[in-house]
Amino acid sequence: MIENADQIFVLLQAWLLSFLPAAWRPAAGVVLDVVAIICVFPALFALTTVLERKGLGRIQNRIGPNRVGPLGILQPVADGIKSLTKEDIVPLRADAVLHFLAPLVLVVAVFMSFAVLPMGRNMVLVDMDAGLLFFFAMGASTELSVFMAGWSSRNKYSLLGAMRAVAQMISYEVVLLMSSVSVVMISGSLRLTRIVEEQNQYSGIFPHWYIFTPWGLAGFLMYVVAATAETNRSPFDLPEGESELVAGYFTEYSGFKFALFFLGEYLGMFAISGLGTTLFLGGWSAPFSFLGWVPSWIWFFGKLMLSMCVFIWMRGTLPRLRQDQLMNFAWKFVLPMTLVNLMVTALWRFLGEGWEQWVFCTAILVAVYVLMGRAEMRSEHFGPRRYRYAE
Amino acid sequence: MLGEGILKGLAETAKNFAGSFVSADRLTTVEYPEQRIAPIEATRDFPFLVYDGGDWEAGMRCVACQICEKECPPKCIYIEKSKDKKPDALGKPQFYPAKFDIDISVCMSCQICVEVCPFEAIKMDTEFELSTTDRFGGLLLDRKRLAKSNEYYHKVHPTEAAEVDARLAEEKAKADAKAKAAAAPKPATAAKPAPAAAKTPGGETHA
Amino acid sequence: MRDLGHPPVWTGKDGKPMSIAFYLVAALTVGGGLAAVMLKNTVHCALALTVAFAGLALLFLQLDAQFAGFAQILIYIGAVAILVVFAILLTRSQEAPRGGVFSKSWLTGLAIAAAVFAVLGWAVLQTANLLPRVSEAPVVTVQQIGTALMGRYVLPLEIVALLLTAALIGAVIVAMHEKEGAQ
């Protein structure tokens, strides 16, 4: 019975496929999975927009939208109708083909990255040998669409926003990759299902999630920072900050294309949170061994929504980072920390089981963090400004 | 240590978030139009004409002196004097406005008409929900819509209305006293008030 | 006449003819490559080149070389293409060159390209004749690639790392030189 609840979607798919002839079943199975992903994640996106607006409102001492539907739940429906009925304006001298393709490329690349996430036991669309690499490859393709959007608008402010966005995404992509490599080192595989299975073991009632190890916690924190920057989310939302560049690289978009960019951004957030959950938070495994009776997909989506809440919380709290502060932070602080984290992970593996690995690894990480933090905070020069191009 | 400020900030917003469900001072939204904030006494929106008593036509204080029409900066008041006269609060026969229109789409709520009115006839109202879908005449308020009773004036501006009433009562008392003194002259003192009356104009012109 | 007892070169892994997917991807790649040289707007050329890269990655994936395919996407599309467009933007060469896109001596160029293609084709056909009758592609896992890189090919790996570091330092120095020059 518990097993059935856990595998309910797999059983549902098998039942639906039993109506088809055997030759069609593999292809139809894939199509069914794809349709499920296309239906579930945009619905979650709608829910997240309401949660974000109401959550931000509560953080800012106000109620969020509460007129459409009970407690404002149907607000995304109103937003969707609004964006569908707005006039689609394309600037006269804009590059029409690229202007049209940019949001499509973004949404397609982001949807593709959902294909490797294990959303429950036996619930992954394609179980690839190099699944993690595929995910990062799709993430890299989103940068291209950002650039296309900024360049095709024929607007110097959009172009500036696009170039800033691409620079930011490239810098933090390195950080993202490096903080994931330590997980790959310990679990020994790029296959995401294998990574989750390695974390699905319990010692006593406590799980073996990687976040409960010193290197895993450090890696997770750096992953969160990089994920926030990759999805252009506050406090790294300079490329799309309303007070800076109107809307940055999607200034010239209106109506449904804007809605597609918005969708692409939130889906990117889901995908990156899903990967972070898989790598560090144990994917679909339960937090305590006695909670194993709850279906695995509930744990995965629960952790996903928890990550969304953390994103929303950070958005409501932190002020925006300036471009040079962002880049300095990435290259001068976070990247060295990821390299130190890699070495500490190797040390963890080397020292084997016992108290030594915990003590030494934690000590090294904390010491490096404190020292680098001191160095970073001391290097605030408050003298007269020197302008590079104005002299 | 690096990151301390961020953690403190996150704790503060979490407190705000949790507190907004339990305490009222962490959720300061007033859900208009179901809830409203009571306006303070000095609120002013658009003018209205005060009338005493029950009948708005008979008790209207406005005597159509047209001072407010002349003083209004955007010229939003339009007054037409009546042909006949009717007695006012002090008993004197006065003109009254046959037409008194204020275009509130032009009115800028500067209160100059209130300041210059010698008869305490026009005061500032506090009503603002006057939007209408009638583009042409909906925002042109005529005499009937502008007339509101003195009791209403007391309700929206209590201290002001009390002051105005006190002043008007004082003037009325002075006028009554003068009328009584003028209505009961003694023959013996008839000669005295006459040279006194002749002297005072002269004395006044010197002063 | 050469002995054609083995399966001809245009069959796939199982001896069956190449699937329609292969032809589509090949058409995409070739089309992207052609567009990259024939379009007028330079940024359009760069994006057509990206399409060609994507086609190559799909070809790798068809041959079950997962690591190579995803690395192709990650590196070529995610970094090289972005680099190319940045270079085009920062040097502002978006307009087509004054004398037209094609060079004057196109006949010579055509002859040279045909000669190179003939040599490459002959080399491929020769090696195809010499290959043993293997119907399955080797399965190379990422672990094997890693072991090979760290074991047999560690010296080339380190040299490439040094080269990349030198390039990075050189780029920083060139950028810093500009700062010195401006002051």
pLDDT at A387 over 80: no
Residues of B in contact with A59 (CB under 8 A): 13, 16-17, 20
Q: Are C18 and C29 in contact (CB under 8 A)?
A: no
Among left, alpha and beta (phi > 0; psi -120 to 50; other), residue A122 is: left
Confidence band of C145 (pLDDT split at 50, 70, 90):
confident
pLDDT at A144 over 70: yes
Residues of C in contact with A154 (CB under 8 A): none
Shortest distance between the Cα of A218 and any Cα of chain B, in A, equals 13
Q: How far apart are the first and last CA of chain C?
A: 73
From B32, which residue of chain A is nearest by alpha-carbon distance?
A67
Confidence band of C24 (pLDDT split at 50, 70, 90):
very high
Residues of B in contact with A377 (CB under 8 A): 2
From A314, which residue of chain B is nearest by alpha-carbon distance?
B10
Residues of C in contact with A139 (CB under 8 A): 78
Residue from the list B1, B17, B31 with its beta carbon closest to the beta carbon of A59: B17
Average confidence (pLDDT) over B107-113: 93
pLDDT at A300 over 90: yes
* pLDDT value of position A281: 92
Residues of A in contact with B27 (CB under 8 A): 58, 61-63
pLDDT at B194 over 60: no
Shortest distance between the Cα of C102 and any Cα of chain A, in A, equals 24
Shortest distance between the Cα of C85 and any Cα of chain A, in A, equals 9
pLDDT at C168 over 60: yes
pLDDT at C4 over 60: no
- Give chains near B: 3+ CB pairs under 8 A: A
Residues of B in contact with A222 (CB under 8 A): none
Q: Which of A205, A164, A203, A176 is nearest to A321 (CA)?
A: A164
Rounded Cα distance between A279 and C113, Å, is 49
Residue-wise pLDDT for B156-180, tens only, equals 999 999 999 999 899 889 888 888 8
Quote the radius of gyration of chain B (alpha carbons, Å): 27
Contact A370 B9 (CB under 8 A): no
Residue-wise pLDDT for C98-135, tens only, equals 566 667 788 898 999 999 999 999 998 888 777 766 66
Confidence band of C153 (pLDDT split at 50, 70, 90):
very high
pLDDT at A228 over 80: yes
Contact A317 B29 (CB under 8 A): no
Residue percentage of chain A with pLDDT more than 70: 96
A21: cis peptide before it, omega within 30°? Answer: no
Contact C70 A133 (CB under 8 A): yes
Contact A62 B28 (CB under 8 A): yes
Shortest distance between the Cα of A205 and any Cα of chain C, in A, equals 33
Shortest distance between the Cα of A51 and any Cα of chain B, in A, equals 13
* pLDDT value of position B207: 40
pLDDT at A320 over 80: yes
Rounded Cα distance between B27 and A59, Å, is 9
Rounded Cα distance between A322 and A243, Å, is 12
Residues of A in contact with B31 (CB under 8 A): 63, 66
Residues of A in contact with B3 (CB under 8 A): 373
* pLDDT value of position C8: 45
Residue-wise pLDDT for A41-50, tens only, equals 999 999 999 9
Helix (H) or strand (E) holding C21: helix C20-38
* pLDDT value of position B22: 86
- C120-129, C135-144, C152-161: least confident range: C135-144
DSSP codes of every residue in A196-220: HHHHT-EETTEE--GGGSHHHHHHH
Interface mutation vs chain C, best among A141, A154, A181, most C CBs within 10 Å: A141
pLDDT at C35 over 70: yes
CA distances from A249 to A99, A108, C77 (A): 11, 18, 20
- Residue length of chain C: 183
* pLDDT value of position A232: 86
- C82 and chain A in contact, CB less than 8 A: yes
Residue from the list B2, B17, B20 with its beta carbon closest to the beta carbon of A373: B2
Amino acid identity, residue A171? S
Shortest distance between the Cα of B36 and any Cα of chain A, in A, equals 16
Residues of B in contact with A61 (CB under 8 A): 16, 20, 26-29
Average confidence (pLDDT) over B98-114: 92
* pLDDT value of position C142: 81
Q: According to the per-residue pLDDT averaged within each range, which of A191-195, A237-241, B81-85, B190-194 is highest?
A: A191-195
Residue-wise pLDDT for A151-207, tens only, equals 888 878 888 888 888 889 989 999 999 999 999 999 988 899 999 999 988 888 888
Rounded Cα distance between A343 and A366, Å, is 14
- A105 and chain C in contact, CB less than 8 A: no
CA distances from C53 to B170, C39, C68, C81 (A): 96, 17, 12, 9
Strand order in the sheet with B122-124: B122-124, B47-51, B147-149
**CB-side neighbour CA atoms (13 Å) of B5:** 5
From A235, which residue of chain B is nearest by alpha-carbon distance?
B6
Domains and CATH numbers, chain B: 47-162 (3.30.70.3270)
Shortest distance between the Cα of A4 and any Cα of chain B, in A, equals 37
Confidence band of A391 (pLDDT split at 50, 70, 90):
low
Q: Which of A289, A240, A282, A230 is nearest to A261 (CA)?
A: A240
Residue-wise pLDDT for A339-360, tens only, equals 999 999 999 988 888 888 888 8
Residue from the list A59, A318, A377 with its beta carbon closest to the beta carbon of B6: A318
* pLDDT value of position C93: 55
* pLDDT value of position B79: 93
Rounded Cα distance between A296 and A151, Å, is 43
Contact C67 A133 (CB under 8 A): yes
pLDDT at C137 over 70: no
Does this model's pTM top 0.80?
yes
Mean pLDDT computed over every residue of chain B: 84
Neighbours of C88 (CB within 10 A): 17
β-sheet bridge partners, residue B87: B93
* pLDDT value of position C39: 85
Residues of A in contact with C50 (CB under 8 A): 144
Interface mutation vs chain C, best among A98, A116, A128, A133, most C CBs within 10 Å: A133
Residue percentage of chain C with pLDDT more than 90: 33
Average confidence (pLDDT) over B119-137: 89
Residue from the list C41, C85, C182 with its beta carbon closest to the beta carbon of A147: C85
Residues of B in contact with A60 (CB under 8 A): 16
* pLDDT value of position C135: 64
Confidence band of A304 (pLDDT split at 50, 70, 90):
very high
Residue bearing the bigger pLDDT, A387 or B146: B146
Mean pLDDT computed over every residue of chain A: 88
Confidence band of A38 (pLDDT split at 50, 70, 90):
very high
Contact B2 A314 (CB under 8 A): no
Residue bearing the bigger pLDDT, A29 or B26: A29
3-class SS at C17? strand
Shortest distance between the Cα of C128 and any Cα of chain A, in A, equals 29
Average confidence (pLDDT) over B139-154: 90
Place of tokens 């709850």: A294
